[in-house]
Chains A and B, each alone.
Chain A
Amino acid sequence: MLIKVYALAVIVMLFSGLPAWLIGRRSAIGERSSAMLLAAGAMAGLAATVGAVIAPLTEIDLAWSLPGGHILLRLDGLAAIFLLPAFLVSGLGAIYGLGYWPHHKRYATAGRLRLWYGILAAVIVLLPACRNGVLFLVVWEVMAIAGFMLILTEQEKKEVRRAAFVYLAATHAGTLALYAMFILLVRQSGSFDFPAVAALNGTTPIAAAIFLLALFGFGLKAGIMPLHIWLPGAHAAAPSHVSALMSGVMIKMGIYGIVRLASFFGDIPPWWGWTVLSLGAVSGVMGVAFAIAQHDIKRLLAYHSVENIGIILLGLGVALLGKSFGQPALMALGLAGALLHVINHGLFKSLLFLSAGSLINATGTRQIDQYGGLLRRLPATALFFLGGAVAICGLPPLNGFVSEWLIYLGLLHSQAPGAPLGMSMLVVAAPILAIIGALAVACFVKVFGVTFLGEPRKPLPSLPTEAPLTMILPMAVILGCCGVIGIMPLTVVDLLGGGIAAWGGAAGPAAFPATLAPVGWISVGALLFLGLTAILALLQRRAVIAPKRPATWGCGYPQPTSRMQYTAASFAEMLTGLFHWGLWTDIEKGEVRGFFPERSHGADHTPDVILDRMIYPGCHALAWVAFKTRSFLQHGVLGIYLLYSALTTIVLLYILL
Chain B
Amino acid sequence: MVDVANILLLLVILLNFFVLGSNRLGACIRTVALQGGMLALVPIFLHPISGHLLLLAGTAMVLKVFFMPWLLFRAIRMVKIRREIEPMIGYVPTLILGTLATASAFIFSDRLPLIEIHQGSLAIPCSLATLATGFLMLITRRKALTQALGYLILENGIYVFGVLLAEAMPFMVEAGVLLDLLVAIFIMGIMVNQISRTFSSLNMQNLSSLRE
Contact = CB atoms under 8 A, between A and B. Distances in A.
Given A653-B108, A657-B111, A657-B112, A636 B209 contact: yes
A636 B138 CA distance: 14
A640 B140 CA distance: 9
A638 B212 contact: no
Contacts of B112: 657
A636 B208 contact: yes
A657 B112 CA distance: 8
A537 interface: no
Given A642-B138, A646-B139, A636 B207 contact: yes
A435 B212 CA distance: 56
A327 B209 CA distance: 73
Nearest to A644: B139
B132 to A, nearest CB: 8
Interface in A637-657: 637-640, 642-643, 646, 653, 657
Contact of B208 (A635, A643, A646): A635
Interface string B9-48: 0000000000000000000000000000000000000000
A634 B207 CA distance: 13
Contacts of B209: 636
B205 A637 contact: yes
Contact of B211 (A636, A639, A642): A636
A612 to B, nearest CB: 30
Contacts of A657: 108, 111-112
Nearest to A643: B139
A642 B108 contact: no
Interface string B169-212: 00000000000000000000000000000000000110111111
A634 B212 CA distance: 9
Given A642-B135, A657-B111, A657-B112, A635 B140 contact: no
A639 to B, nearest CB: 4
Interface string A44-56: 0000000000000
A653 B141 CA distance: 25
Contacts of B211: 634-636
Contact of B135 (A637, A640, A646): A646
A642 B139 contact: yes
Contacts of B210: 636
Contacts of B204: 638-639
Nearest to A636: B208
Nearest to B150: A642
Given A643-B139, A653-B108, A657-B112, A638 B88 contact: no
B102 interface: no
Contacts of A646: 135, 139
Contacts of B139: 639-640, 642-643, 646
A376 to B, nearest CB: 61
B147 interface: yes
Contacts of B147: 638
Contacts of A639: 88, 138-142, 204
A653 to B, nearest CB: 7
B201 to A, nearest CB: 15
A637 B208 contact: yes
Nearest to A637: B208
The A interface, classified by DSSP as helix, strand, loop or mixed, is helix
- Classify chain A's interface size: 10 to 19
A635 B210 CA distance: 10
Point out which of A635, A637, A640 has the most chain B C-beta atoms below 10 A from its C-beta.
A637
Interface string B125-142: 000000000010011111
A209 to B, nearest CB: 39
The B interface, classified by DSSP as helix, strand, loop or mixed, is helix
Contacts of B142: 639
Interface in B109-155: 111-112, 135, 138-142, 147
A640 B138 CA distance: 9
Point out which of A636, A639, A653 has the most chain B C-beta atoms below 10 A from its C-beta.
A639
Contacts of A642: 135, 138-139
A637 B211 CA distance: 9
A643 B138 CA distance: 9
A635 B142 CA distance: 15
B144 to A, nearest CB: 9
A636 B207 CA distance: 7
A653 B88 CA distance: 26
A642 B153 CA distance: 15
Interface string A595-637: 0000000000000000000000000000000000000001111
Interface string A501-524: 000000000000000000000000
A426 to B, nearest CB: 59
A136 to B, nearest CB: 44
A639 B136 CA distance: 9
B123 to A, nearest CB: 18
B146 to A, nearest CB: 11
A643 B212 CA distance: 20
A649 to B, nearest CB: 8
A653 B112 CA distance: 10
Contacts of A634: 211-212
A635 B88 CA distance: 15
Contact of B207 (A638, A640, A643, A653): A638
A643 B211 CA distance: 18
A375 B25 CA distance: 91
B88 to A, nearest CB: 6
Contacts of A635: 208, 211
Nearest to A653: B108
Contacts of B205: 637
A652 to B, nearest CB: 13
Nearest to B142: A639
A637 B204 CA distance: 8
B182 to A, nearest CB: 21
A640 to B, nearest CB: 7
A636 B135 CA distance: 17
A634 B211 CA distance: 8
A637 B206 CA distance: 9
Point out which of B88, B139, B141, B209 has the most chain A C-beta atoms below 10 A from its C-beta.
B139
A183 to B, nearest CB: 35
A635 B139 CA distance: 14
B208 to A, nearest CB: 3
A638 B204 CA distance: 8
Contacts of B108: 653, 657
A637 B147 CA distance: 13
Nearest to A645: B135
Contacts of A638: 138, 147, 204, 207-208
A477 B164 CA distance: 83
A545 B143 CA distance: 101
A635 B212 CA distance: 9
A657 B109 CA distance: 11
A18 to B, nearest CB: 46
Contacts of B212: 634
Interface of A: 634-640, 642-643, 646, 653, 657
29 contacts: A634-B211, A634-B212, A635-B208, A636-B207, A636-B208, A636-B209, A636-B210, A636-B211, A637-B205, A637-B208, A638-B138, A638-B147, A638-B207, A638-B208, A639-B88, A639-B138, A639-B140, A639-B141, A639-B142, A639-B204, A640-B139, A642-B138, A642-B139, A643-B139, A646-B135, A646-B139, A653-B108, A657-B108, A657-B111
Please name the 7 residue pairs, one residue from A and one from B, whose CB atoms are nearest each other, closest first: A636-B208, A636-B211, A639-B139, A642-B138, A646-B135, A643-B139, A642-B139
Given A638-B208, A642-B135, 9 more contacts: A634-B211, A635-B211, A636-B210, A636-B211, A637-B205, A639-B140, A639-B142, A642-B139, A646-B139
